[in-house]
Chains A and B, each alone.
Chain A
């Protein structure tokens, strides 16, 4: 590399100094609660409520993390969270990919009307269907069950929309060739189109995992027993009961958020691309 571009790059970075200062300060505000939560999860309750505040514990209290499993039904709630998130995501992927494919590629009567009918759900606030959904789940005897938490959420208008967009962007020639080679529509879909739609599938999976893991209102009304709650509900409920046991609640919160962050950092580029796609309809 010649000297000149290097020096001009250096000049650019120097010109950017105000931008760096602003972004670093802003970034600090974003990260602080996470860092503070981790510090508190390793402190004693007395240190958390001390005046002046303790910024670093005298001794790291790893015992708080042990107590999460002894004092709280953490493992049980964790497994509920995993189950509802996995089932909801797989269900959505299957139903939305199939419907999105048909809406993008098949010609049939009423296609536009049906797609509009499904999309209209996106404009409607959830409360408008929550009570009757609850009554359906009650009628099916699925209150307190992870299946009751999952059931309405496996059907997603948003996922169908994203998958239709994805399939519309794929070339037609491949699947036409497959059909001419004797594949039926199901085979053309599963063997040719589905593997090509991976970016769309991962966008649907990412948003669903995130919403399902963090969702509160619906699981809050479907589950009332501690052992049937997912973590999102469990943390809020347990924080009410153990209101002065700050340290253990902080450790439980760190553990409850950890899987999403691990997932995010292991596939960061894809998550950001996926979420940016989800905004493309704007």
Chain B
């Protein structure tokens, strides 16, 4: 597509001077980002102040009506509660992952790469496919969890997936299981960056392994831990796939097990209320912005950048 450069025209320019070329290189991505991201974000804000009929026509400006309706819904609080609970459980995976990663990275440990692969597998799994197993594991009648519970003498173990409260707990356990792999990869990379000499010096000074873990490993891993905290919090707020696949819309426990994103999906695409859904989306946006900002402010107290 491009003609060979003309020597005369190029002559005066430095080798990195670029003329109109940046437009060609950046243009396609920039155009896509504007059309498919920036315009929609602005449009979503506008939609949240409107109401339209079920077919998307007859759009009327209704001011803050959608927000008022949303904040007077009793299930908004339970959706926020479920989302926070799920996120908290997924964040619990981080300290567990720190332990696992530091064990895997022990110098000269045999089978280290096998362990790495085992812990990483859940991250690769398609959530809607692997949750088919978890549905059986948590099954109230014949699932292995309840069969084990009964064998241990527990009379009436709960019907996990159809009892409000237990349902979101089951989903959160799945979330915990599936998030460890990514944590371990990031933490292993962080651990490899810690100079061995620090540990050698500490051993010579007589520091125990536990003391070395607390005084060297954890402080020097804080940038990775902080990165994971941000990523997993944002990811936790996005809870949808596991809920959709494990509980499902027909389940009587679903109404009380919804996450914020499920509420959004239900309002915008099942009830076909785009204005109401847009308002839920704005609340999620605000929520993520506040929590991320708080984490970035808080990081100064505990993250060590070397």
Interchain CA distance A268-B119 in the complex, whole Å: 13
When the two chains form the complex, which single residue of B35, B115, B121, B265 contacts A34, counting CB atoms closer than 8 Å?
A: B121
When the two chains form the complex, which single residue of A30, A176, A210 contacts B16, counting CB atoms closer than 8 Å?
A: A176
Main secondary structure of the interface of B (DSSP, over half): helix
Minimum Cβ distance to chain B for residue A87 (Å): 14
When the two chains form the complex, which single residue of A127, A233, A253 contacts B261, counting CB atoms closer than 8 Å?
A: A127
Within 8 A of B (CB), among A217-262: 217, 220-221, 231-233, 235-236, 239-240, 246, 249-250, 252-254, 256-257, 260-261
Q: Which residues of B contact A131 (CB under 8 A)?
A: 40, 43-44, 47, 268, 274, 277-278, 281
Q: Which residues of A contact B41 (CB under 8 A)?
A: 124, 128-129, 132
Once the chains bind, are B108 and A12 in contact (CB under 8 Å)?
Answer: yes
Once the chains bind, are B186 and A276 in contact (CB under 8 Å)?
Answer: yes
Minimum Cβ distance to chain B for residue A111 (Å): 8
Q: Which residues of A contact B129 (CB under 8 A)?
A: 231-232, 235, 252-254, 256-257
Minimum Cβ distance to chain A for residue B15 (Å): 4
Give the contact stretch, choosing among A59-67, A184-192, A197-205. A184-192
Interchain CA distance A217-B115 in the complex, whole Å: 32
Q: Assess whether B182 is interfacial by the CB under 8 Å rule.
A: yes
Answer whether A129 and B36 are a contact pair too, CB < 8 Å, given A95-B28, A182-B7: yes
Give the contact stretch, choosing among B69-77, B99-107, B163-171, B199-207. B99-107
Q: Assess whether B194 is interfacial by the CB under 8 Å rule.
A: no
Give the contact stretch, choosing among B135-143, B152-160, B210-218. B135-143
Once the chains bind, are B132 and A235 in contact (CB under 8 Å)?
Answer: yes
Once the chains bind, are A275 and B25 in contact (CB under 8 Å)?
Answer: no
Question: Considering only CB atoms and an 8 Å cut-off, how many residues of chain B contact the other chain?
Answer: 108
Q: Mark A31-51, 1 if CB is under 8 A from B, else 0.
A: 101101100100000001111
| A-B interface, 8 closest residue pairs, ranked by CB to CB distance from nearest | A282-B227, A155-B32, A132-B40, A129-B40, A102-B25, A253-B129, A27-B118, A132-B43
B positions within 8 Å CB-CB of A: 1-5, 7, 10, 15-18, 21-22, 24-26, 28-30, 32-33, 35-41, 43-44, 47, 56, 99-100, 103-104, 106, 108-111, 114-122, 124-130, 132-137, 139, 141-142, 144, 147, 177, 180-182, 185-186, 188-189, 223-224, 226-228, 230-231, 234, 237-238, 240-241, 244-245, 248, 250, 261, 264-265, 268-269, 274, 277-278, 280-282, 284-285, 288-289, 292
A positions within 8 Å CB-CB of B: 9, 12-13, 16, 19-20, 22-24, 26-27, 29-31, 33-34, 36-37, 40, 48-53, 94-96, 98-99, 101-103, 105-108, 111, 114, 117-118, 121, 123-136, 138, 151-152, 154-155, 157, 160, 172, 175-176, 179-180, 182-187, 189, 210, 213-214, 216-217, 220-221, 231-233, 235-236, 239-240, 246, 249-250, 252-254, 256-257, 260-261, 264, 268, 272, 275-276, 279-282
CB-defined A-B contacts under 8 Å, sample of 17: A23-B103, A99-B25, A107-B18, A121-B33, A125-B284, A126-B238, A127-B264, A131-B268, A152-B32, A185-B21, A189-B25, A210-B124, A231-B129, A252-B129, A257-B129, A279-B228, A282-B228
